[in-house]
Chain A
Amino acid sequence: EVQLVESGGGLVKPGGSLRLSCAASGFTFSSYSMNWVRQAPGKGLEWVSSISSSSSYIYYADSVKGRFTISRDNAKNSLYLQMNSLRAEDTAVYYCARDTSMVEGWDVWGKGTTVTVSS
């Protein structure tokens, strides 16, 4: 079964750090670009960051540039998001999503992990 499972969320104080993980299974992880998308409580979806299959291309939303770092380990079938200098507005459910990099779009999503930034 094709699956993505996020972990690493939790409660952190403003200015703190957190590292999210996304474990992939059931498909050839190294063949796909991957994305992080977040959803603040009661709000819509916001793209956060993307990474190509070999990590050659990395992109960030302006709202997280300079604070978040996306990475992957194809040997471990895992995607990561290192989040530093966290702010209250980073509070959200964070999803990882598989990117076919073709017209087929972002076809597999994890269930998400919740990040709460509060003092």
Chain B
Amino acid sequence: EIVLTQSPGTLSLSPGERATLSCRASQSVSSSYLAWYQQKPGQAPRLLIYGASSRATGIPDRFSGGGSGTDFTLTISRLEPEDFAVYYCQQYGSSPPTFGGGTKVEIK
């Protein structure tokens, strides 16, 4: 099973600042089958990024994903008020699919 470790656990930033979230895998993620999700309280996860770097439909271009192999990042170029949420990475190239523990982006 591929274990995904996200860091930091919590990121305290102000609107307008840049956020960089990390996701490290215990072994190489197959064919960059790495996704990022955003989840707000009481809501379902929303797909932001798939294939490590492709934005899902309707996702603003301030969200970008990068990385390969075992190290991946999600960058939010300028935080908007609606971006404060919990973010999860997921690998879906190997069975079982696994999620990271999440990074909470909170208002400083």
Contact flag A105-B45 (CB < 8 Å), given A44-B99, A44-B100, A44-B102: no
In contact, A106 and B51 (Cβ under 8 angstroms): no
Contact flag A105-B92 (CB < 8 Å), given A45-B45, A95-B45, A111-B44: yes
Report how far A47 CA is from B45 CA in the complex, Å: 13
How many A-B pairs have beta carbons closer than 8 Å: the answer is: 60
Contact flag A103-B50 (CB < 8 Å), given A44-B100, A59-B96: yes
- The contact string, 1 if C-beta is below 8 Å from chain A, for chain B 63-105, is 0000000000000000000000000101010011111111000
Interface size (A, Cβ < 8 Å)? 20
In contact, A104 and B51 (Cβ under 8 angstroms): yes
Indicate whether A107 reaches chain B with its CB closer than 8 angstroms: yes
Partner of B33, one of A50, A59, A103: A103
Indicate whether A9 reaches chain B with its CB closer than 8 angstroms: no
Interface size (B, Cβ < 8 Å)? 27
In contact, B98 and A47 (Cβ under 8 angstroms): yes
In contact, A106 and B99 (Cβ under 8 angstroms): no
Q: Which positions 76-119 of chain A face chain B at CB distance < 8 Å?
A: 95, 99, 103-107, 109-112
In contact, B102 and A106 (Cβ under 8 angstroms): no
